[in-house]
Copies of this chain bind each other. A is one copy, B any other.
């Protein structure tokens, strides 16, 4: 078993590339983590997820605690075995989904009580219970329970919420340190809150670094704020975090978001966008977003992107994908989720290579030029 570690291999401006070492394998950074909400990256076989180049997937504590239940997953040998994914897994704390999905939330110092969006049953999530669940799942990277705030939120309210997240961070660290199921090589990340207020973000970053975690996430973003506010917050926060530890921007984002956040020094991302868009008939390519339902694709024999390395993007015609989307076929979601995850992983690989070669700005220029050019012309 390897101990958890982060190796910073190259920097280019503020962009960084490196490797996160876990007991279950190495994660090349900057890394994009496909989201395996309920123990499955939707519409994907795990081996196909791995084949796109993903080193790690994300599992949702909120979803898994409600169904099938963390103790159930543990009894079945943990989340890796359950979902047949044997590389690293990061689990979130459940806080974000309680905020976004659950009904009748009741926040208290102790934790949050909420009703399941599935069956209305009542559950409580505390910092300790969140760690307990993540240890039962066997996650390689675990997250502290945090409180998410709405956007926008008044400064005073963001500060109050942030202070609660800090007290919870202390409790989570203690729970993780002493959890009987904790395994060598597992890590716990803190989550910096503070909405889009630079002073709060910086203060919270320092506070969490003082507590001490294996890595640091930026939470409470990608919740409706403009991209510029998100990037300004990233830019204001990252200098307050230690360079020798991984930085994770939660729930982000579009390809453009990834490029801009990597440029500013973010190492890890997760987002449902590539798979959700795939299920809704949209593809991501070098040239932007392609809406396959559009009539322009109905008779187009060309693939999504002839230069893609992914079979879903370079073999099947746009006409076929259009047909599958119009017909509501499972294969539409399967192929487009696959193509999109492959595109995201290729993008990360290109950024890693560009940083290692010291030419990230050249990469970014080419990236925007390709998007500016737009999709191939209709026939």
Contacts and interface: CB of A to CB of B under 8 A. Distances in A.
A315 B68 CA distance: 19
Contact of A330 (B39, B67, B315, B333): B333
Contact of A67 (B84, B320, B327): B327
Interface stretch (A42-50, A186-194, A253-261): A42-50
Nearest to A315: B84
B84 A45 contact: no
A301 B77 contact: yes
A279 B331 CA distance: 13
B331 A68 contact: no
Interface in A21-58: 38-40, 42-45
Interface residues of A, number: 36
Contact of A42 (B38, B279, B330): B330
A116 interface: no
A152 B67 CA distance: 47
Nearest to A335: B45
B317 A82 contact: yes
A161 interface: no
Contacts of A84: 315-316, 320
A324 interface: yes
B45 A323 contact: no
Contacts of A317: 76, 81-82
A369 B324 CA distance: 42
A9 interface: no
A174 interface: no
Contacts of A330: 40, 42-43, 279, 330, 333-334
Nearest to A42: B330
A319 interface: yes
A76 B42 contact: no
B68 A319 contact: yes
How many monomers of this protein are in the complex? Answer: 2
A349 interface: no
A77 B301 CA distance: 9
A9 B59 CA distance: 53
A75 B299 contact: yes
Interface in A72-100: 72, 75-77, 81-84
A98 B324 CA distance: 22
Interface in A264-283: 279
Contacts of A320: 39, 76, 82-84
Contacts of A324: 39-40
A291 interface: no
Instruction: Pick from A72, A76, A83 the residue with the most CB of B within 10 Å.
Output: A76
A40 B76 contact: no
A49 to B, nearest CB: 11
A291 to B, nearest CB: 17
A10 interface: no
A68 B298 contact: yes
B331 A45 contact: yes
A323 B42 contact: no
A116 B75 CA distance: 51
Contacts of A43: 330-331, 334
Given A67-B326, A301-B77, A324-B40, A319 B72 contact: yes
**Which are the 10 A-B pairs with shortest beta-carbon distances?**
A43-B330, A40-B331, A68-B323, A38-B327, A40-B329, A76-B301, A76-B319, A82-B320, A42-B330, A84-B315
Given A40-B331, A75-B299, 9 more contacts: A38-B323, A42-B329, A45-B334, A68-B298, A81-B317, A82-B317, A82-B323, A83-B320, A84-B316
